[in-house]
Structure 1
Amino acid sequence: MTTIAVTGHMDLTEDSVPLVRNALDVLLKQYADHGELVGVSCIAKGADSLFAEAVLAAGGRLSVVIPSQDYRQNKVKPDHAALFDRLVQAAEEVLVLPHETANRHAYEAANAELIERADRLVAVWNGDPPSGKGGGTADTVLEAQAAGIPVDVVWPDGAARVD
């Protein structure tokens, strides 16, 4: 069994979505073909949800980590709500962290949970350094590397973030 967690940008351009999804499908197929695949995701808009969909499409099991008690109500925008709810329903496990509100501490705790569970980390990441706010994609990559977890960076040619 291979457990792969994800971190990545939420603000992918519309044109980037199919590029990233295809790259995730190709990457995850090799793990699904060699045994049981478990994907761990916070299922936020963008990279997290694309990864979760790719895990399910590859025949893997999905484990969801929700950063806070109020996350669905206060952080999931209407344009992402249906997909978020569908992924929660498809998940084999849903862990809601005890934080009351979605904030930097909740996101950092969620990232720590991802890293603790992961054999590998997939980072849908353009390579930019940490922003200094904490809890972002680059921070999670650095934490995984410090913990000795291999990181697969997915950033296909043509991928971009919304300005």
Structure 2
Amino acid sequence: MTVFAVTGHMDLTDTSVLLVRTALHDLFAEHDGSALVGVSCLAAGSDTLFAEEVLAAGGELVAVVPSRDYREAKVKPGHAPAFDRLVQAAAEVVVAPFATAGREAYEAANRVLLERADRLVAVWNGRPPGGKGGGTADVVLQARAEGVPVDVVWPPGAERAGV
């Protein structure tokens, strides 16, 4: 069994969504779906694409929710149907012990991802951390420091919206 966790950008362009989805599909095609577990916080963008491709490959999904109010406070209406569908499809839902979403809750959720991961999939443009903490680059650096192998998924032509 291989447990993949994900970190990645939320703000992918429409073209990038297709490119990233294809790259994730190809990555998981190299593994036996019945021995594949994906761990995701189910945020919009990369986390959701990852979760959908894990399930499409026949894998098992573990959803990590950063706080008890995350769904109501942070999931935007346009993303809510996908979030709800993926939570329902998850074999396990882990809710971090925080009442409200925020930096501490996100960092704790990232900790759960890395504790469970055999490998980290980073849908990441390779840029250094932005200084806020808990972002994609921060999680990649933390994984590497802990010896968790990182698979960077950033296909040619991928871009972040507005960047």
Per the TM superposition, whether the score is higher than 0.5 is yes
2:32 corresponding residue in structure 1: 32
With normalisation by structure 2, the TM-score equals: 0.97
2:23 corresponding residue in structure 1: 23
Secondary structure of residue in 1 paired with 2:62: strand
Amino acid at match of 1:32: D
CA RMSD of aligned residues (A): 0.8
Secondary structure of residue in 2 paired with 1:11: coil
Matches within 5 A, 1:1-163: 1-32=1-32, 36-163=35-162
Amino acid at match of 1:28: F
Divergent runs of 4+, >4 A: none
C-alpha separation in 2, matches of 1:78 and 1:16: 22
Q: Deviations over 1:117-160 (max 9, x none)?
A: 00000000000100111000000001100110100000001110
| Identity in percent | 68
C-alpha separation in 2, matches of 1:107 and 1:129: 19
With normalisation by structure 1, the TM-score equals: 0.97
Q: Deviations over 1:43-93 (max 9, x none)?
A: 000000000000000000000000001100010001100000000000000
Secondary structure of residue in 2 paired with 1:87: helix
**Number of residue pairs aligned between Structure 1 and Structure 2:** 162
C-alpha separation in 1, matches of 2:106 and 2:134: 6
Secondary structure of residue in 2 paired with 1:73: helix
Q: Structure 1 regions of 5+ residues with no counterpart?
A: none
Secondary structure of residue in 2 paired with 1:56: helix
Secondary structure of residue in 2 paired with 1:25: helix
Secondary structure of residue in 1 paired with 2:161: coil
